Amino acid sequence: MKNLYLLFFIFHFSCLIAQDQKIKVTPVSTQKIDASFLVGLDGLENNYFVKNNVFYKQHKTDIWEYKNLSLGTITKIDIQNPLKIVLFYENFNTIVTLDNQLNETQKINFSENEVPILVNATGIASQNKLWIYDSLSQQIGLFDYLKNTFQTITQPIKGTLKHYESNFNSFQWIDENLNWYSCTIFGKITLLGKVPDFDQIQMISNSDLIYKKNKFIYYFTLIGNKKYLIDLDKKTFDNFYYKDQILSIFTNQEIINYKFTTP
């Protein structure tokens, strides 16, 4: 009988360990939105979203839009600099930049470059430059959009980019083996670590990320390789966005903002 109790205790304890630790989040606001995909929010109470391949910016009751259906589907949108928003149309190897009222300020067709570039990834960088991953050379480089010049800064990269993000000073990506890398503007590449499999993911620091897998959303940190289940009151959602301790969930044509603090 004692052995039976011992086995039960060991089994129960093992189940508790196997369960993901949870993070409670507090809803702070809800906003109705008519969109297909939430791109993100900025610190000025602007929402950015896509509907029917048209890009929108909304501030309370004011709405701006940018539409260029001749370039096909929008592949990627970078809203880090609200004064210079970057839209990437991969099928036409073209990048469009917009001002804060979504007026087109520049259109760059990389197929017309003196040395052709096949852009597979891009984002805003510092000093009037764009991050570019050229799939022809498999190299990361910086494109000066004022001088129309491109300079590679790395050797060819092995593997494929499963996901990528960038900021003014670094370009980060996760390859098909779930390895997380970072590259500086000087071309130094660092392996940050290995991440869990995901359906959607957002890097929130050089060690932390939030990701969606199946119908659940998690916080993961490379520090101790710890994973936490984010406990939402909404069990189904389309996509999410994190900024400044606010986790925004897009579901059923509304945005629900949660206060989120990392453990």
- Domains, the chain, with CATH or none: 21-43+199-263 (no CATH), 68-194 (2.120.10.30)
- Quote the CA–CA distance of 141 and 187 in Å, as a whole number: 8
| Angle (nearest 5°) at CA 40 between 34 and 41 | 95
CA dihedral 101, 39, 107, 109 (to 10 degrees): 180
- Quote the CA–CA distance of 72 and 144 in Å, as a whole number: 24
- Both structure tokens of 58: 């909304």
pTM: 0.89
Written as tens digits, the pLDDT of the chain (263 aa) is: 545 444 444 444 344 334 579 999 999 999 999 999 999 999 888 999 999 999 999 998 899 999 999 999 999 999 999 999 999 999 999 999 999 999 999 999 999 988 889 999 999 999 999 999 999 999 999 999 999 999 999 999 999 999 999 999 999 999 999 999 999 999 999 999 999 999 999 999 999 999 999 989 999 999 999 999 999 987 689 999 999 999 999 987 899 999 999 88
> What is residue 17's three-state secondary structure?
helix
